[in-house]
A and B are shown apart, each in its own frame.
Chain A
């Protein structure tokens, strides 16, 4: 439920809130606990929660996802369809583990996520939502709960602010914060964080190279 609240708050927060556009929330503690999984005690637990708090907004993926059909309409716009458009008429195959096993559709989709099958996470009863391990459906907007089923330690660390990038204010009484969503960094189908070329190569260490000659007039 906390998660749902956070996601709703995130959507309300808009795409790129400026610090001035979000007003401090009146209910102390309430928004401070909006990070999913937080077990924080609300108002009165500490002096910090007695003050008004700005929101912690979690970046939202565009949900529900739509699939590119590879076609363009008369205006040149890419035609996308909801998952259910095709899957309403096809028979689910429980054993499929990657796009490579398919004769058509989803070709080229990189898959590297353990031994999961497509239907470990996707709901065969309704392809426009996800499926929890116990069989319950889950809206795409709550993807984080799905990830958290298996990645508990990461979810705990995320909830406590020690996993996942963020920007904004450390002091929520003075401004809001924006946090990455799991899928900002981890492609759900191939979640390993990609290798990158490091930025900003360092010059030789000071002390190991001669300083420039002083210029005395």
Chain B
């Protein structure tokens, strides 16, 4: 496991580093005015948004953070979670591996539509309890049709029904993700193992990505999630299931806090029928490779050119 690096004393010289981003410029101004004046100048900010700390406002983009800065941020987030939720959590910044390319496949012949996956996602990813948020939406589809627009996500009767099949839809981790290209602030991007992630602290909540996604896979946090301390999943990662702040986008991350440690995603473990297949495309012996090589797989909305990493198939 990755131990968080030790946290060095705060230094000021890095504030005048090579880049001239908005936030470092802000810092430079602050240093000129003097720390006290700077804090005074930012005081209205804390009044305007009581949950947003000055540190958070000044936080750099994920990709620009040095390890010690990340360690500091994680410590801050863990403290905030303790204060706001009463839960002791461990947040890690887990990096992708060079020799892993994730992909997912789902066997529509044996999915029974029980929605256990959606429920597991809800719990694993620290979703707001009251709104029953989940990254997975299970569509009840008429046999013989593959029209997603006609799928019903609100069915409430015993499953499976004879004339229906069930299609769970979540982030397809596209290789050409429209959600990434529309983001005006580069708060979302595709990692080298194939997972599309969001820096929740950089997202401005414009919801362009939500509109751009052809799979309706992105969610907006209308309010900060409400979860009781005992229900908070304490195993968290910065880019995945840490509790999101209000006003930012969120999405399925293939449970990277689990899968980048070698574990199966929560939705797969919850599946009682084994409809879900997950693994590393670079391993020729993997289950996912066998499925892609031996089943007639298809992707959703292939014509829109998003190149999903999420495949569907039927047995017959």
Interface residues of A (CB under 8 A from B): 32, 40, 45-49, 153, 157-158, 160-171, 173-175, 177, 180, 185, 193, 195-206, 211-212
Name B291's closest neighbour in chain A (CB-CB).
A162
Once the chains are docked, how many angstroms separate the CA of A16 from the CA of B118? 25
Q: Are A193 and B273 in contact (CB under 8 A)?
A: yes
CB neighbours (8 Å) of A166 from chain B are 264, 268-269, 274
Q: Are B159 and A195 in contact (CB under 8 A)?
A: yes
Q: Are B158 and A196 in contact (CB under 8 A)?
A: yes
Chain A: minimal CB distance from B160 (Å): 7
Chain A interface secondary structure, helix, strand, loop or mixed?
Answer: loop
Q: Are A206 and B220 in contact (CB under 8 A)?
A: yes
The segment from B4-12, B82-90, B131-139, B236-244 found at the interface with A is B131-139
Q: Are A199 and B114 in contact (CB under 8 A)?
A: yes
- With contacts A163-B110, A170-B278, A200-B118 taken as known, whether A45 is within 8 angstroms of B285 at the C-beta atoms is yes
Name B105's closest neighbour in chain A (CB-CB).
A162
Q: Are B159 and A162 in contact (CB under 8 A)?
A: no
Q: Are B158 and A168 in contact (CB under 8 A)?
A: no
With A171-B280, A198-B138 already in contact, 11 other A-B pairs whose C-beta atoms are closer than 8 Å: A32-B285, A162-B107, A162-B290, A163-B273, A165-B273, A170-B262, A170-B263, A197-B157, A202-B154, A206-B222, A211-B222
- With contacts A48-B285, A168-B264 taken as known, whether A198 is within 8 angstroms of B274 at the C-beta atoms is no
7 A-B interface contacts by CB (under 8 A): A160-B287, A160-B294, A161-B287, A161-B290, A167-B264, A196-B114, A199-B119
Name B216's closest neighbour in chain A (CB-CB).
A205
Q: Are B159 and A48 in contact (CB under 8 A)?
A: no
Name B266's closest neighbour in chain A (CB-CB).
A167
Chain B: minimal CB distance from A37 (Å): 12
Once the chains are docked, how many angstroms separate the CA of A46 from the CA of B99? 13
Once the chains are docked, how many angstroms separate the CA of A173 from the CA of B272? 24
Name B268's closest neighbour in chain A (CB-CB).
A166
Once the chains are docked, how many angstroms separate the CA of A167 from the CA of B138? 21
Once the chains are docked, how many angstroms separate the CA of A171 from the CA of B44? 49
Q: Are B132 and A203 in contact (CB under 8 A)?
A: yes
Chain A: minimal CB distance from B47 (Å): 8
Interface residues of B (CB under 8 A from A): 99, 105, 107, 110, 112-116, 118-119, 122, 131-132, 134, 137-138, 153-160, 219-220, 222-223, 259, 261-264, 268-269, 271-274, 277-280, 283-287, 290-291, 294-295, 315
Name B162's closest neighbour in chain A (CB-CB).
A195
Name A35's closest neighbour in chain B (CB-CB).
B287
Once the chains are docked, how many angstroms separate the CA of A190 from the CA of B112? 17
Q: Are A174 and B262 in contact (CB under 8 A)?
A: yes
CB neighbours (8 Å) of A212 from chain B are 222-223
Name A180's closest neighbour in chain B (CB-CB).
B274
CB neighbours (8 Å) of B156 from chain A are 198, 201
Q: Are A46 and B114 in contact (CB under 8 A)?
A: no
Specify which of B131, B132, B219 is in contact with A200 (CB 8 Å cutoff).
B132
Q: Are A171 and B219 in contact (CB under 8 A)?
A: no
Q: Are B112 and A193 in contact (CB under 8 A)?
A: yes
Q: Are B280 and A203 in contact (CB under 8 A)?
A: no
Chain B: minimal CB distance from A130 (Å): 24
Q: Which of B105, B219, B222, B272 has the most CB of A within 10 A?
A: B272
CB neighbours (8 Å) of B262 from chain A are 169-171, 173-175
Q: Are A199 and B115 in contact (CB under 8 A)?
A: yes
Q: Which of A46, A168, A170, A200 has the most CB of B within 10 A?
A: A170
Chain A: minimal CB distance from B87 (Å): 22
Chain A: minimal CB distance from B154 (Å): 6
Q: Which of A32, A165, A174, A203 has the most CB of B within 10 A?
A: A165
Name A54's closest neighbour in chain B (CB-CB).
B262
CB neighbours (8 Å) of B219 from chain A are 206
Q: Are B274 and A165 in contact (CB under 8 A)?
A: yes
Q: Are A163 and B107 in contact (CB under 8 A)?
A: yes
Chain B: minimal CB distance from A56 (Å): 11
Q: Are B280 and A170 in contact (CB under 8 A)?
A: yes
CB neighbours (8 Å) of B295 from chain A are 162
Once the chains are docked, how many angstroms separate the CA of A199 from the CA of B168? 13
CB neighbours (8 Å) of A174 from chain B are 261-263
Name A171's closest neighbour in chain B (CB-CB).
B262
CB neighbours (8 Å) of A157 from chain B are 107, 315
Q: Are B119 and A197 in contact (CB under 8 A)?
A: no
Name A216's closest neighbour in chain B (CB-CB).
B48
Once the chains are docked, how many angstroms separate the CA of A49 from the CA of B264? 19
- With contacts A166-B274, A169-B263 taken as known, whether A160 is within 8 angstroms of B113 at the C-beta atoms is no
